[in-house]
């Protein structure tokens, strides 16, 4: 399986600011996904990021709030914009495409104060 890293691993941010989370994979992958895990909750898909095309967002998530970049087949970023305390969550990227299953990065724990 692919080795996936995320930066930062955690951060504490003030409301109204933005944070960009990076996801790096050690091999080329077709599809990358971003998920949110709110405190004590399950994972919810934010968007699918394919290289060379615009990200596809799930219901309830919009590009202005969660802009995503996918400049190549090994890297993606998710920005959480104009943050509020409700954005405090763990954000995880995952990869798929060559395999049906998905593998997850370690996550970024975000706290907004």
* 8 A C-beta contact, residue 46 and residue 25: no
Identify residues 59-88 at the interface with another protein (CB under 8 A): none
Taking the complex as a whole, the smallest distance from the CB of residue 79 to another protein amounts, in Å, to: 19
Q: Which pair of tokens denotes residue 8?
A: 């930062």
Taking the complex as a whole, the smallest distance from the CB of residue 12 to another protein amounts, in Å, to: 16
E strand or H helix that includes residue 52: none
Selected binder of another protein within 21, 23, 35, 89 (CB under 8 A): 35
Q: How far apart are CA 6 and CA 77, in angstroms?
A: 9
Identify residues 4-33 at the interface with another protein (CB under 8 A): 31, 33
Q: Is 31 exposed, middle or buried (0-12, 13-18, 19+ CB in 10 A)?
A: middle
Q: Which is nearer to another protein, 42 or 113 (CB)?
A: 42
Verify binding: residue 92, another protein, rule CB under 8 A: yes
| Total residues in contact with another protein, by rule CB under 8 A | 23
Q: How far apart are CA 33 and CA 48, in angstroms?
A: 5
Taking the complex as a whole, the smallest distance from the CB of residue 112 to another protein amounts, in Å, to: 19
């Amino acid at each position: 399986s692919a080795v996936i890293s995320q930066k930062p691993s955690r951060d504490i941010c003030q409301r109204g600011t933005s944070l960009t989370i990076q996801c790096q994979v050690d091999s080329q992958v077709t599809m990358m996904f971003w998920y949110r895990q709110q405190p004590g909750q399950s994972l919810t898909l934010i968007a699918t990021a394919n290289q060379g095309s615009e990200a596809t967002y799930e219901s309830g998530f919009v590009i202005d709030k969660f802009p995503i970049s996918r400049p190549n087949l090994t890297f993606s970023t998710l920005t959480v914009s104009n943050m509020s305390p409700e954005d405090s969550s763990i954000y995880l990227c995952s990869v798929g495409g060559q395999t049906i299953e998905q593998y997850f990065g370690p996550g970024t724990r975000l706290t907004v104060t």
